[in-house]
Structure 1
């Protein structure tokens, strides 16, 4: 535990991790509480309720990179002000309006959702380097696991025992209070901030900085060595791309094949996790054991928490694609579950790799993207995961309806394996193209 104590002894980092957990808690309960409010209070079907949460998810997916980019451009405090006001207004209003108003309000609430993920991961990337960064991301991932154990369960208790109207209002207020706490803490999002407490340089980041300097001095249209946007050959691009095209390219020149692979891993992990969740619920319902859901989730999420802590103590990083591939393969044996306890035990193996996969993806993305673009990159990372989460649930539902609950684990696991294979093939193709362009540049030089 030495590495964890080294991280937690730094007040700025430990405060950020605690506030990040608290800030995520209302959002982790929001979807469940919103569903229950629509079904129980407004007498809506599950289809209508699902559409509302889908609109909110779409808003989050669109807003995450936008809000992250505003953090990069405006600074943390200015970027959080819109979220603080809008979240309170939206979620305190939703319980008191008719269904036709809930749809646009849910989308707006998602669009202006507090960018907790982007802020916390960007700040941790600034305040730590190397092995410290891996440990810090693992702590954040395990804290998130705790939040998603507590959040949905709390939403169910509030909706059934108190009031979903009160619960939604509390979520709006607490989300804004969490935004104010982040503004007061004001964690660094740039390395020149005095609060950036990284203890030693990151060799990989220094190399990326040197390559960025080389690209800045290169002629317009010359492909980047590592952090280039996937475009056509530099000669044809130089002739065809107009001023707006060049501006657009410059806007996204931090996207590389490796960055796209991280986004694919995030989307695949989101789909696999929600698919596994739906499969667990469907399997227990088929066995008439829905009341045992907490037992399975305790094993599944608890295993992820332990896996995240162990990954954070490692001396080396692991490709998030490889971790996702292993998690997908280990999900398939859940097909053989026959009762609650066998399902819980079979969930241990894939659950163990959940937090490490997300931690590794954040670590790789931080190393691959220049500091001035990390907030936006983390926003796109969150959007990729949100998109995967939104797709995983209905896809698994199709497997459940057509094949059965047990077969759904095979279906979602095979889908995640397919996603990883596509990403690995794309990476290999891109590396070959990159090597060819590098040789071309050397010949020109």
Structure 2
């Protein structure tokens, strides 16, 4: 079971960077819980909760590519420091606004939330842009899979941590915790990157010399058809995942056992973690089309067991379907992220993963209202079926992407050479 962890021995810099990058992101899954309690207690309106949360999500989507370009052209450590501090200040201001303003002043909270989202530390995109600099080929695939698997675990732990602080102290304290974790995590990760020689992105020789190709390299990455298709894969993939999450939670609420739906979502994440560990242990290059296709099959199987298709499916039957279906999540996300890293220019990978962040946020923005309408109109089976259709579309688009041949991605001769090159 420890075979997937061999990549840590092969790539020494990864021992600190991967765990730190995951821990530094725990605030991302903890914040929505704390924010929901804070705003709901203040306004007694979940519509306003959605507006405040949506303001932050929109800002993240807008700022993603911009933060990526800044990271590619300058110091990632400096960017992480500035955004980490700005993010913490924004969350503190949000708690203060809720404490002193009347509930009818909620648009102020939306504005603060939007500005805070603009300062969200770009830890995910900087980390994912960094992995191809540490390893190539199968080792790089294993890193992306381990990252996706680890993030599934972090996503499960964040809400529990936040809910515990809300229960024991207050929603404001939980948001303060998120501010602290976001700021400290960003600063520490940035300092470790600097010590590893990964603070700045190496520039291609032609670009550094100011060649005639420079204007072309300044064009938006979306003008590259291959890159755009790779980003669209993540757009539909993330939309499909959120469609299932929302539908299963709604199913549990409809039957009068909300904890049943939450339990199934947790089991889905457990399956994802298990699938990620197995795939990382196998090594080899990923088949993104196959992995997403298997995810779509799992979603379709789940749809057949939910109302109105099936009104009395026993809970014990849903459990293995969720666990087995979930085993394709982390491998699918890892393969999708790796493919973005492959098609993006070496000196613009942080920007590329910024566009990926925008795409995944957009996928969620598409899935939530669409799934909600399908749930109200038809039921969870149709909403999950829509998620399966989005996963199928992601798989179809993925099948059009160029898959590098082994000769195009040689394994590093030795990890020490990779590290030495990074130090330069």
TM-score w.r.t. structure 1 length? 0.79
Q: Distance in 2 between matches of 1:44 and 1:136?
A: 43
Please report how far the alpha carbon of residue 217 of structure 1 lies from its aligned counterpart in structure 2 after TM superposition: 8.9
Unaligned runs of 5+ in 2: 307-312, 403-424
In the alignment, the residues of structure 1 paired with residue 354 and residue 266 of structure 2 have an alpha-carbon distance, to the nearest angstrom, of 29
Shift of 1:315: 4.2
Asked whether 1:131 is paired with 2:138, we answer yes
Map 1:9-408 onto structure 2 (within 5 A): 10-39=11-40, 41-97=41-97, 98=101, 99-186=106-193, 187=196, 188=198, 247=215, 250-252=218-220, 255-335=223-303, 336-337=305-306, 338-408=313-383
- Closer, same or farther: CA 185–175 of 1 in aligned 2, 3 Å: same
Which range is displaced more, 172-181 or 42-51? Answer: 42-51
With CA pairs under 8 Å and 6+ residues apart, which has the higher RCO, 1 or 2? 2
What is the alpha-carbon root mean square deviation over aligned residues?
A: 2.7
Helix, strand or coil at the partner of 1:313: helix
Cα 1:392–1:189 change in 2 (3 A) is: farther
Equivalents in 2 of 1:172, 1:22: separation in Å?
Answer: 13
Q: 1:217 to 1:27 in 2, by over 3 A?
A: closer
Task: Work out the CA distance in 2 between the residues paired with 1:34 and 1:301.
Answer: 22
Question: How many residue pairs are counted as aligned between the two chains?
Answer: 382
- Provide the rounded CA distance (Å) in 1 between the counterparts of 2:272 and 2:244: 13
Cα separation, partners in 2 of 1:13 and 1:111, compared to 1, 3 Å: same
Instruction: Return the offset for 1:192.
Output: 5.5
Give the Cα separation in 2 of the matches to 1:51 and 1:248. Answer: 39
Give the TM-score normalised by structure 2: 0.83
1:347 CA drift (Å): 1.2
Find out whether 1:410 has 2:385 as its counterpart.
Answer: yes
Report if aligned partners of 2:52, 2:110 keep a CA contact under 8 Å in 1. Answer: yes
Q: CA deviation at 1:159?
A: 2.4
Please tell me whether the aligned partners of residues 11 and 134 of structure 2 are also in contact (alpha carbons under 8 angstroms): no
Q: Deviation per CA, 1:82-127, whole angstroms, max 9, x where unpaired? A: 2122111111111121422210111111111011111211121211
Tell me the SS of whatever aligns to 1:42.
helix
The structural deviation recorded for 1:356 is 0.6
Q: Take 2:289 and 2:357, find their aligned partners in 1: how far apart are those partners?
A: 16
